[in-house]
Each structure stands twice: as structure tokens, then as C-alpha cells.
Amino acid sequence: MTNSLRLTPAQSLTQTLLQKKTPEETALFLKPWLDSLGFETQILTFQNVTNVYATKNLSPSTQRPSQKVLGFLGHSDVVPAGEGWSADPFSGALQDGFLLGRGAVDMKGGLACFFAALAENKAVLDNFPLALFISGDEEGTAEGGIPAVLQELEKTSSRPTFDFILIGEPTSRLTLGDYVKMGCRGSLNIRFCLTGTSGHVAALGQKIENVATIMIHFLHELASFAWPPEDEIFGPTNLEITTLDADSHATNVIPAQARGGFNIRFGTKTSAEQILAKIESVAASYPHVSWFF
């Protein structure tokens, strides 16, 4: 496969989206594109986060029980590009039959596939109530993303009631389309800080508790906890450490602070309240711990 390969509409749209470096750029491209398909498209910004909300065939009359509303949920932001790319991560380059770019899988490719399918299916476009939500802040705290959009829609009583919601996140395991998740696990992001006393590592007899060492024990206890088993759809609850840091800035000094973060994904057998209660009970035996959020 060569770089001169003729791309399908979905592939071509993916390539274009990969070239957009920010949610703002993506939103400015998507609005006229969706408008051309007959959508009523809004660009909604909250906390410097740019989101897209688009509807078609949606009116108060479509909310009757006999009618169905299809929602699509996606995001246009990406994680940092990082190093080691064989091409510009925002070029959408075609190499050996693959489109390269940050967000190709998660999840600009998912956006492009859904939008291209809509463009090619006139029956759905003309007859089916649709509501599309494109967040500009899924990879971060999400506070200025979909929650803020839904709150804004509530103010105007225009928040739709959905019968189905399709989320375009990648779920395939070995081959494309081999696995579709019938739901989305809950997610909790926790940032914490341990505060202690700094000191020299060679000072004998000093009564200094190393908060970096305490942090390791704290995280080990949390990561070792056996959460209630989930069903086969959602899989087990899992805790993954995402960041660790200490502020000594020297190889021979005990830090005065240690900071970290972790993410917990959970299904329907466990609630966020139960998880937070467990975290707080563990943290209670570590008096150095305080919370960022």
C-alpha cells in the first residue's frame, strides 16, 4: 500500500481531523461540515474547553415514547504527542497502509467513521432524531466538557432523552470490530499530596519520616485491595497509578512533599461513593496525606 492510495470518505475525514491540533480547530472544521448535513450545530465553550453539540430531527415532538433518539458521544482532544514518531504526529501521514497521528485511534478515527457513515446514510439523516456530543476535554478532568454541556442544556430545557448512545472509543482487541462494549465503566481521578519534613539522608538519629516511602506503602495498600467482582461486560475494578513526584531536587535529601495520582475504573457492582469511602478509610491511617481533588 502506498502513500498515493485513494482514501475512503472515513479515512479522508480521519486524516483531516488528525491535522487539527486543538479541539478549537476541530470544532471550527466540524461545524460547517455538520451544518452541510442539516444539523443544527453549536460550539459551546466552558472553562476554556471547546465542545460541539449538534442535533437533527430533534424537537419536542420527537420525545414521545414511541420514537427513538440516537446519541453519539466522542471527543476531539488528545493526549500529548510525546516522542518517537516516524512522522509529524499532526500530519495524518499515510505510511505502509496506516494513517499516523495522535488521536488516530483515540478517537478521531471513531469520530470520522460515525460522521462518514451518517453522510452516506440519507435515510438515517432524514428520519432519525440524532444528537451528537463532541467533548474538547475527555482526556483531562472533563469538567468543561460534556458535564458542562449537559448543564447548559438543562437551563434551556433542551437536553434530549436518549434511547441509545454510541460512544466511539476504541474497543477492539485483536481485529477491527471483534469486540463491542455494551456500556462504559465509571472513572475516578484522584490526586494526593503527602507532606512531611525534609532532611539529609545521611543524618543518623534524625526522626524524619520519609513521605516518599510512605507514599509507596499508601499506594500499595490501595492497589492491593480486592474490590467486589464485576460482571463479564465490565470486567474487574482496577486502579492504575498515573503520576508520582517528590520535591527534594537532590539525590541526598529526603523530600518534604510527595505527590501522586491514580485512576480507578469500575463497573455497575461498585459505586464511586463506595470507592471514595475505601480510599478515605485507607488514607486515615496515613496522617501525611491530603487531597488535591
What are the residue numbers of the active site?
Answer: 77, 138
Do the beta carbons of residue 230 and residue 270 sit within 8 Å? yes
Number of C-alpha atoms within 13 angstroms, CB side, residue 37? 25
| Alpha carbon distance 203, 205 (integer Å) | 7
| Alpha carbon distance 29, 31 (integer Å) | 6
Residue 240: strand pairing partners:
263
Do the beta carbons of residue 72 and residue 166 sit within 8 Å? yes
Q: At 214, which helix (H) or strand (E)?
A: helix 211-224
Do the beta carbons of residue 26 and residue 103 sit within 8 Å? no
| Alpha carbon distance 277, 292 (integer Å) | 16
